[in-house]
Amino acid sequence: MQKIEKPSNKGAEHPYLISASVVLASLLYSIDWTIAVVALPHMQGAFSSTQDQISWVITSYIVASAIMIPMGGWLSNRFGRKKVYVLAVAGFTLSSIVCGSVSTLTFEVIARIAQGMCGAFLVPLSLAIMLDAFPEEEHPKAMAIWGIGWAGSFIGPILGGVLTEYLSWRYIFFINIPFGIVALIGCLLFLPKDVPEKVKERLDWFGFLTLAIGIASLQMMLDRGQRLDWFESGEIVFEGCLALIALYMFNVHVMTKKKPFLDPKIFLERNFFLALILVAFYGLLTVPPMVLLPAFLEGLIGYEIIDVGFLQSSRGIGVLLAMFISNRIAGIINVRIQIAFGLCCLGISSLTISFWTSDVGAWPILWTGFVSGVGSGILMVPSQLVAFSRVVASKRNEGAAVFNLVRTMFSSIGISLILAVFIHTGATGRSELVEHVTVFNDALTNTPSVSEDYSIQTERSLAILEDEITRQSELQGYIASFFLLAIASFMAIPIVFLIRRVDIKPRNRAEKSSRASPITSE
């Protein structure tokens, strides 16, 4: 029988020092999700690799993280949360040194796998640590602070662009070293010990392996599907079938085994299940724009990479501001209203972008990014409150792992889905535009102001016409992608009304004395 020291609702002795340590560590992990994207062309040149080969720098990190996230709960229960977290921070920092030092792509991918495996524990375990570090009445504050760690995914492209432009792509990994050391020292000094006693439960290897194979196969399929033309490729067919079989076997296993790798009973809690749906939408709605917008601003409009980073900074500002506000309004405004407002912000931002043209100015880019950031930040904190409002302390490690796994998986699904829409719409639009390029088109042959630049009679004019057709077809792809994101944002709002009441206690004694009962969200 497993016996673990139960976390106290009174909170830890140094909650803010604990927060600073774990948030810094999880911030590094989330930054590394996106920081390498802008550096890929430079890394491709350094390693003399193809575009398909260099993509493994991103794929290996994501797949390794997704596989190991579910292990966080069992390892924490088995060896103690502090020990696992400290080793994860140390491993992540050491692998970052290797990532920035290697001279071949093979070793770079191996180092990124190690980095992803260590980093997988940083975000979910940090959530469980934060919930235990603060008393129950301050959980909204804890989640707002914790959310700063995940905001690194918004900072990554900006930071990666600056470091690559002015230093070298290697510094996108070396920058982790000083912050990783500080986080490691903080975790060693301030994280409370929670070493379990007389643990007899063994790891459910069959459950873990089937889940790992299923997740890895699905992630590989999603990441490589677009490049390999999806199910026209034998590799994608194989990965899809393997994912389906492995995940089916895992589901059957957890439903029939007494003590499975993941306890299915956690999904029976209504608010936790609904929160998983909301965080799935969060991954679908927030990560794809971070992939599309830099390409749109740099490739279609013509902004420099540094300017793109500046224009995207408003999104990060919006996230941080919204998290601060979420903490202040916890228990005052119904969590369902907060979540609905966040989804509306995301929908309005995406809908506005779907009306952009290729000559959009800086101000629309800044304010739509800010509104999107506010929506992301507002959505994150109350969703976490809903998820863990009725989850017992003994299940927090497991619940946090599942919560972050769903977010990771649906972020990948969202990217693949949106890229597929973008490419398909762009290709369709291009074919429609090309149909009008004939000698019988009066606009091209008889209109002087048009025919001078877009004549089909000269080689130079045909090249100009080709570039314009490409720009217009890509614009159609971006418009369709963001319009789809807007629809998905508004479609998620009805889920909010299914959430059960979330009780939020007053944050101080004054409030306790002035109220007969705790603040609740009806």
Could you say which of 158, 180, 201 is where a domain stops? 201
Confidence of residue 1 (pLDDT cuts 50, 70, 90): very low
> Which of 24, 27, 118 has its CA nearest to residue 69?
118
Tell whether 131 is covered by a domain: yes
Q: What are the residues facing 357 on neighbouring strands? A: none
> Which of 208, 199, 193 has its CA nearest to residue 81?
193
Domain that holds residue 469: 427-476
Q: In this structure, what token pair is assigned to residue 473?
A: 């077809």
Is residue 474 within 8 A of residue 343, CB to CB? The reply is no
Torsion sign across C-alpha atoms 515, 517, 519, 522: negative
Give how many domains the chain has, as a whole number. Answer: 4
Question: Are 153 and 249 within one domain?
Answer: no
Cα dist from 315 to 32, 150, 177, 346, whole Å: 18, 13, 26, 11
Torsion of CA 406, 407, 411, 413, to 10 degrees: 20
Tell whether 263 is covered by a domain: no
Question: What pLDDT, on the 0 to 100 scale, is given for residue 490?
Answer: 92
Question: Are 337 and 286 within one domain?
Answer: yes
Tell whether 5 is covered by a domain: no
**Residue for token digits 């199910």?**
231
Tell whether 462 is covered by a domain: yes
The predicted-structure confidence for 45-71, as pLDDT tens digits, reads as follows 888 877 667 777 877 787 788 778 777
Question: Are 144 and 183 within one domain?
Answer: yes
What is the CATH number for 286? Answer: 1.20.1250.20
Question: What pLDDT, on the 0 to 100 scale, is given for residue 499?
Answer: 83
Alpha helices in 296-391 (DSSP H): 305-329, 335-353, 362-388
pLDDT of residue 281 exceeding 70, the answer is yes
* Mean pLDDT calculated for residue range 313-324: 80
Residues 6+ apart with CB under 8 A from 56: 105, 109, 112
Question: Are 491 and 361 within one domain?
Answer: yes
Per-position DSSP letters for 203-240, written without gaps between them: P-HHHHHHHHHHHHHHHHHHHHTTTTTGGGSHHHHHHH
Q: Which secondary-structure segment (H or E) carries 140?
A: helix 139-150
Is residue 356 within 8 A of residue 302, CB to CB? The reply is no
> Which of 363, 6, 5, 22 has its CA nearest to residue 188?
22
Question: Are 30 and 178 within one domain?
Answer: yes
Question: What pLDDT, on the 0 to 100 scale, is given for residue 412?
Answer: 75
Tell whether 121 is covered by a domain: yes
Per-position DSSP letters for 448-476, written without gaps between them: HHHHHHH-SSSHHHHHHHHHHHHHHHHHH
**Single-letter amino acid code for the residue at 476:** Q
| 3-class secondary-structure state, position 503 | strand
Q: What is the pTM of this model?
A: 0.74
Question: What pLDDT, on the 0 to 100 scale, is given for residue 97?
Answer: 92
Question: Are 388 and 517 within one domain?
Answer: yes
Question: Are 390 and 443 within one domain?
Answer: no
Question: Which is it for strands 519-521 and 502-504: parallel, antiparallel or unpaired?
Answer: antiparallel
Question: Are 407 and 434 within one domain?
Answer: no
Tell whether 328 is covered by a domain: yes
* Mean pLDDT calculated for residue range 429-433: 71
Is residue 236 within 8 A of residue 120, CB to CB? The reply is no
Question: Are 25 and 83 within one domain?
Answer: yes
The predicted-structure confidence for 367-417, as pLDDT tens digits, reads as follows 998 998 888 888 877 887 787 777 666 676 677 777 877 887 787 778 778
The predicted-structure confidence for 188-213, as pLDDT tens digits, reads as follows 888 877 655 455 566 677 877 888 88
